[in-house]
Amino acid sequence: MLAKPGIQTISAYQGGRPVEEVQRELGLADAIKLASNENPLGPSKHALDAMADAATSVNFYPDGNAFYLRNAVAESHGVEPEQLLFGNGSSEVLQILGQTYIAPGDHIVFPQQSFVVYSLMGAIFDARTTTPPMKADTYDLRAIAAAVTDETKLVLIANPNNPTGTYVTKAQLDAFFDAIPSSPLVVLDEAYFEYVDRHDYPDGLDYVRAGRNVIVTRTFSKAYGLAGLRVGYGVASVDVVEMMNRARPPFNVNALAQAAALAALEDVAHVDRSREVNAAGMDYLTSALSGLGVAYVPSVANFLLVHLARDGRSVTEALTRRGVIVRPMQAYAYPHSVRVTVGTAAQNERFISALGEVLAEIPEAS
């Protein structure tokens, strides 16, 4: 009982189950993982080559300031290199934010049914949290603005949101910033930014450039296909980055990850192809789900929240037995839903065919 009170209230983060683990446990040969919103096309070939080159120097510590990656990302985003903070995944950027800004009892705001790491952060740093409800599976920015006070330290907004795949528009975000005091730091978590293709979707970097008290987080884990390497970053004012750098662990982004992320950033064709495959897969999945009479939340990201009117865990287990790994959504207070990542055409077809069987096997919850 020596652990901090907040730690005692939570369970460890549960990721999607690895393919190898499921295959080993169930004696399957060809399971597919559609559980963690990873890129089904794999990494860029250029990233693999860059890693092989960098591997010969791993007797040295990595560049703790990620010089080449920093300059390339700064140039591609039109910001100063000093406005960037790199992390071992954008999850670590969130963790460093907590370490830098949240003292016990500080007030933070994020909605219910958003990325589960936010509530873990609240507990780990012993924050006071307010979690306004969502509206129609979407962030209700008015409710969030109403919960923000002069004392609020952090507001967390995933845009698009995980697990719903919904987004807030530029007009909504503008109105939100007009409605809140300038004091809290607003986190715009844009892990799925590269997938969104909507004219009214805001680019969080515009708010950083306009001098708002904002940090945008992005990642190489999704459209760039490098989830296993763990590289993400935050973009904010030089002052915010300078403070966060004090809490950043030394050498937090490893040398292979830096080399691969730089190559992946430059491989625009791979990201374009990833977007195309995702858009085609999303079209297929949504019409196939409708064909099965299944409800889902329309998504602008690379995953779908699927409402099944059945216990989500039972459905997940039955799909896993058929070699299709998805994510149950109890932890997000959607007990009758699963989240599925858009895969390749063959993977999507396999998911739909397995789901059809499972729906016939498991009766609807009363």
Interacting residue ranges for ligand PLP, rule: CB under 6 A: 37, 89-91, 115, 158, 162, 189, 191, 219, 221, 227, 232
Nearer to ligand PLP, 37 or 258 (CB): 37
Where do the H-state alpha helices sit in 112-217?
A: 116-124, 141-147, 170-179, 204-209
Closest separation in Å from C-beta 161 to ligand PLP: 7
Of the candidates 353, 327, 348, which has an alpha carbon nearest to the alpha carbon of residue 338? 327
Closest separation in Å from C-beta 241 to ligand PLP: 17
Nearer to ligand PLP, 91 or 278 (CB): 91
**Amino acid in the structure at residue 303:** F
* Tokens coding 141: 């920015």
Q: Which residues contact 357 (CB under 8 A, 6 or more apart)?
A: 322
Closest separation in Å from C-beta 287 to ligand PLP: 25
Closest separation in Å from C-beta 359 to ligand PLP: 26
Closest separation in Å from C-beta 291 to ligand PLP: 28
Give the integer Cα–Cα distance in Å for 122 and 154: 10
* Tokens coding 42: 């794999």
Nearer to ligand PLP, 90 or 152 (CB): 90
Closest separation in Å from C-beta 218 to ligand PLP: 8
Nearer to ligand PLP, 339 or 350 (CB): 339
Give the integer Cα–Cα distance in Å for 297 and 166: 8
Question: By beta-carbon distance, which residue lies closest to ligand PLP?
Answer: 89
- The sheet carrying 185-189 orders its strands as 84-87, 232-235, 214-219, 185-189, 152-158, 107-109, 128-130
- State how far the alpha carbon of 268 is from the alpha carbons of 19, 133, 167, 194, 265, in Å: 28, 38, 24, 11, 7
Nearer to ligand PLP, 84 or 318 (CB): 84
Nearer to ligand PLP, 301 or 318 (CB): 301
